[in-house]
């Protein structure tokens, strides 16, 4: 039986960092809407051209686009232990669409990892990544918009899963290795 996990948290909390580690260690399939969008932008596809300005401003790309991308990737994946949704869902419509897609496979979301990191630490991580990777949305100004968007959508997405009693808090302030250990504890419990 598949086991599906949502990685939830503010921009720079380490969702992608941890999802990649868990994917390699345990054979889950990471589905990152941020990574998918960035590769569409890099390839200058029509979808990428549409998403680029929105992402550079730090705003949310349309539900239609991200739901469509997730659906395509889920349909392509076979024999995976489960999916790790990284950065998705971010709206109520995305959460409902995800449940509907999983239902057709007789599956559901089993665990939501809520990574928690202080705003000051997030700013430091984003500044560091901007030097290392030069991502267009990693400026201090855009980060503020991304954080505001997060503070907005968390009031919708978290309660959606809290009602199902599947949210586990994770202290994202610890080192990468320590966070991985805590995540492993959360899903082996």
Which residues are part of the catalytic machinery? 15, 90, 129, 135, 146
- Order the strands of the 83-86 sheet from edge to edge: 29-32, 83-86, 5-8, 111-116, 167-171
Tokens 């941890």 map to which residue? Answer: 18
Q: Is 16 in the site for ligand B4P (CB under 6 A)?
A: yes
Q: Beta partners for 153?
A: none
Residues 87-146 that bind ligand B4P (CB under 6 A): 87-90, 94, 125, 129, 137, 146
User: For residues 81 and 135, which CB has a smaller minimum distance to ligand B4P in the complex?
Assistant: 135
Among 12, 40, 109, 161, which residue interacts with ligand B4P (rule: CB under 6 A)?
12
Q: Which is nearer to ligand B4P, 1 or 144 (CB)?
A: 144
In whole angstroms, give the CA distance from residue 73 to residue 90. Answer: 17
Distances (CA, A) of 137 to 58, 125, 164: 6, 13, 33
Which residue from 6, 8, 14, 147 is in contact with ligand B4P, where contact means CB under 6 A? 14
Specify the stretch interacting with ligand B4P by CB under 6 A; choose among 22-30, 31-39, 71-79, 160-168: 31-39
- The DSSP result for 68-113, as a single string, is HHHHHHHHH--S-S-EEEES---SHHHHHHHHHHHHTTT----EEE
The residue from 6, 22, 41, 55 that contacts ligand B4P (CB under 6 A) is: 55
Task: List contacts with ligand B4P (CB under 6 A).
Answer: 9, 11-17, 33-34, 37, 54-55, 58-61, 66, 87-90, 94, 125, 129, 137, 146, 172, 175-176, 179
């Amino acid at each position: 039986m598949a086991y599906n996990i949502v990685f939830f948290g503010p921009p720079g909390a380490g969702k992608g960092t941890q999802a990649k580690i868990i994917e390699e260690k345990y054979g889950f399939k990471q589905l990152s809407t941020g990574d998918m969008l960035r590769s569409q932008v890099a390839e200058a596809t029509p979808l990428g051209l549409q998403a680029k300005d929105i992402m550079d401003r730090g705003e949310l790309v349309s539900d239609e686009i991200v739901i469509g991308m997730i659906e395509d990737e889920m349909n392509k994946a076979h024999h995976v232990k489960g999916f790790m949704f990284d950065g998705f869902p971010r709206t109520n419509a995305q959460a409902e669409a995800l449940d509907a897609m999983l239902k057709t496979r007789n599956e559901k979301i089993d665990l939501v990892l809520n990574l928690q990191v202080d705003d000051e630490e997030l700013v430091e991580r984003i500044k560091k990544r901007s030097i290392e990777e030069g991502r267009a949305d990693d400026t201090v100004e855009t980060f503020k918009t991304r954080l505001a968007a997060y503070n907005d959508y968390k009031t919708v997405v978290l309660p959606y899963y809290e009602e199902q009693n599947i949210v586990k808090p994770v202290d994202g302030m610890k080192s990468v290795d320590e966070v991985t250990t805590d995540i492993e504890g959360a899903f082996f419990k």
